[in-house]
Structure 1
């Protein structure tokens, strides 16, 4: 159902598998499709640059702006790595010229600064741009000189120097919300932080240390991570590798046993295998924790909808005895992460499971009127042993559930990337062109439904004609993630493309900014 000839061969004998891994699948680029995605990027950028720059986000319908990420130009920084990958010289110049002017000492309207969001968007975006522009990827094509490169890294370092106050807690587990007064300080009224917001810092902060030669940034993030790799008390780890959500910042102890691969916990698991890919010599313990989480997820969380046993989703949990059969678009990155883990570890079972997840999230797209997947959905588990945990199907969606294998709990689409992200990894693992076709169909549907005003806007109901109307907002991750994955799956081979043959030069952070793998060639 979801396999290709290459994957079927991969799942054969170990000798056959390793031989194929050495060669990898064959890929075919579609320049016309890639060009169409680039046109959408340029259109969205033109609207942002005219009506919102240098503020954070475009409001495409009212042709105005919103400073939702502290007023430092989130869309510009998020767009830069995508512009480099697309070889969009004019946009690259506009953003690179802007970077030295950002005042990272003050937040707009005195808004609190999220350590997590600022790390994945701004710090990750700056580090990625520096990696890409100072490597053979760009080869000086864009006329970026050493002074401009230094400014990018200096701004990243200055930002981290302001952010690092978040780690000033008794345990070293950071407080996520910061006040950028002078000097910056954490919001000490907060006593807990979340699994994802603690565990999705280590790639960017370690990369900053590796680039600057200053170990303090890596040390801070890795100390915080240590509480997640060795969770206490035992109730904070209901199954091996699967953790609770909230952590006490005073002592690093878990406060609950609830979690899953959904928002609030998701990218912790994502970064475990990505840290091992970043540096296999330093982060073997991260690999081991990912394997535990992956194995437990397959054993305890994998769930087949009662009306569609061909589909697989991951349940959420509140301890061992209370599973919740609810998920959403945000969690659909999980297929891509399992695929990446399988490729990295030479474990076809993870690749296969990831492809099953990617297929199932694809089905959430094909079932709706717009051809776009919903923000939230639920299902009834098909196993009789779990029927006591199943919630009833809403009467008005009974027929929809019978055919689709899920029902919609939140029908909006906020320009999220995760489903397309998993198709990208499935394509890179198998070379199967159907994943390119899935992505192309999704692009056409998103372009037809979300394009409005000066850019692209969120829609209110994916299962209503024309998306049920718009929300006047274009998030910065539209540039960083959605358009990047849509472009990469159709484009030519390049050093930043994910490799199926153990020669990755980059690893993508959770905002899809490619970070240079430690020790990879310049």
Structure 2
């Protein structure tokens, strides 16, 4: 690994990748940090690259080829089947950052993965968005603009071969009476746990499997996910669609029917809506019906789910629902919604969606600005009848109260800042992303990497969970870098048709049949 220079971010020092600090949690006071010491985007982008290298060095030294680093204890965990989730999730970010040594460490490893062997159950959804998408993205980038980063062309071709191998191991999930797959798979005997599937876990397969079909020439990969998607585009029973285009979340793989009418732009539903417009970007000729479905859902969201806290009517949040009853609550996960509206507004030439998305970005920014760490909580609410007594003053000032104060290295707020900046070129979104990056560095940095924390509203984060998520590499650091970096063909929203589309794990794949 090349040595890195120290980068001082206010009160935060980002050490060299080789000089990893001891695994002792440190209380870091973030109030009073000098704001935006790094004002030039090039310097900020380099700071993100250095954080990526530091994170990779800790993972590679203590955890590779296991799934995740445990940075406090310098150990490892395997929540994603012991196939090296952090390595595969890091690939597209390493490529975009031009980190050739890391790229080759990863693509040299990937051919050795045996997808048929795992000690734990397999999530069709998580495996698709992390492993399958990570390899397909690497294949597209290394067969396109970043071909020079691969030392061995055979390792590039292995990315597609391993994608096919993985999909073949997963494909029995679709062998159901309806064609709606099971999500939880047991590879040892080709069985499932028999449980219902969900809106997001069914509706967030189509981009990756269609891309695989187009690259491999095997259209079966596309047909099986398109059949599953058809149940989401034509939901049954009618009661599962309490507002036009907005659905429940629990789906029977036996019948393909929805079992509830609970939902929103929240975890368990979120990326179904995200992929409706992204499939239209991927191929508008084949997937215009998904674009129409996104418009229906978006218009219903604006009309029925828009909510303004009683204490801060200047803020805009999207409510969840149970039937037609609104639930005034949301999640960090849902804060991707602003970026999705902005992306769609640009693609469709509809400023109303851009403007609505920007208002959602403002609301999610408030969840960061209001806490003592300047990081947003996992879950929050704004029901004035249910404000906890010890958060009354906080709610009155901030427009929300915290219902789950943890932070799991999630990307969604920075993701939406990225789309906001790309659409508007307004410097404040770059500044907000930088502020978030600095705050996350100040609070989650520990031992050999970065850890999820317990409480964003306690200085220092209230303790570490000793777990570095793989999407730290794939999403948080990628979006933090992209918003500060210059023009490149994978950047979104600079006119014409985007040449790349990002999956829900922030892995960019080449759009079908053309470019800008």
2:386 partner SS: coil
1:239-284, CA deviations, whole angstroms, 9 ceiling, x for partnerless residues? 1100011111111111111100001011000000000000000001
Q: Deviation of residue 520 (structure 1)?
A: 2.1
Aligned pair partner of 2:493 in 489, 496, 499:
499
Distance 1:125 1:292 in 2: 30
Deviant stretches of 4+, over 4 Å? none
Tell whether 2:162 aligns with 1:155: yes
Q: Which residue of 2 aligns with 1:364?
A: 367
Tell whether 2:317 aligns with 1:313: yes
Aligned pair partner of 2:377 in 374, 378, 382:
374
Q: Which residue of 2 aligns with 1:174?
A: 181
Distance 2:514 2:446 in 1: 42
Q: Which residue of 1 aligns with 2:330?
A: 327
Provide the aligned C-alpha RMSD in A.
1.2
Distance 1:151 1:202 in 2: 22
How does 1:477-492 map onto structure 2 within 5 Å?
Answer: 477-492=471-486
Q: Which residue of 2 aligns with 1:17?
A: none
Q: Which residue of 2 aligns with 1:116?
A: 125
Aligned pair partner of 2:68 in 37, 57, 64:
57
Distance 1:104 1:418 in 2: 29
Q: Deviation of residue 186 (structure 1)?
A: 2.8
Tell whether 2:509 aligns with 1:515: yes
Q: Deviation of residue 145 (structure 1)?
A: 3.7
Distance 1:129 1:449 in 2: 31
How does 1:157-306 map onto structure 2 within 5 Å?
Answer: 157-181=164-188, 184-187=190-193, 189-190=194-195, 192-306=196-310
Distance 1:502 1:284 in 2: 17
2:460 partner SS: helix
Q: Which residue of 2 aligns with 1:4?
A: none
Q: Which residue of 2 aligns with 1:14?
A: none
Distance 1:237 1:288 in 2: 16
Q: Deviation of residue 436 (structure 1)?
A: 0.3
Tell whether 2:52 aligns with 1:72: no
Change (3 A) 1:311 1:144: same
CA contact (8 A) 1:29 1:491 kept: no
Distance 1:281 1:323 in 2: 36
Q: Deviation of residue 206 (structure 1)?
A: 0.2
CA contact (8 A) 2:346 2:354 kept: yes
Q: Deviation of residue 143 (structure 1)?
A: 3.6
1:359 partner SS: helix
Q: Deviation of residue 75 (structure 1)?
A: 0.1
1:27-62, CA deviations, whole angstroms, 9 ceiling, x for partnerless residues? x97110000000000000000000000000000000
Distance 2:45 2:135 in 1: 24
Q: Deviation of residue 477 (structure 1)?
A: 0.2
Distance 2:156 2:149 in 1: 12
Distance 1:431 1:74 in 2: 34
CA contact (8 A) 1:343 1:500 kept: no
Q: Which residue of 1 aligns with 2:355?
A: 352
Change (3 A) 1:247 1:377: same
Equivalent residues, number:
478
Q: Deviation of residue 503 (structure 1)?
A: 2.6
How does 1:82-101 map onto structure 2 within 5 Å?
Answer: 82-101=93-112
Q: Deviation of residue 391 (structure 1)?
A: 3.5
1:304-353, CA deviations, whole angstroms, 9 ceiling, x for partnerless residues? 00011111111111111x11001010100000000011011000000000
Distance 2:183 2:367 in 1: 33
CA contact (8 A) 1:61 1:453 kept: yes
Tell whether 2:46 aligns with 1:40: no
| Greater mean deviation of Cα atoms: 70-79 or 462-471 | 462-471
Distance 1:333 1:118 in 2: 20
Q: Which residue of 2 aligns with 1:341?
A: 344
Q: Deviation of residue 465 (structure 1)?
A: 1.2
Distance 1:470 1:128 in 2: 32
CA contact (8 A) 1:167 1:220 kept: yes
Distance 2:300 2:211 in 1: 29
CA contact (8 A) 2:498 2:515 kept: no
CA contact (8 A) 1:29 1:492 kept: no
Q: Deviation of residue 521 (structure 1)?
A: 4.6
CA contact (8 A) 1:165 1:186 kept: no
Normalised to the residue count of structure 1, the TM-score between the two structures is 0.90
Normalised to the residue count of structure 2, the TM-score between the two structures is 0.91
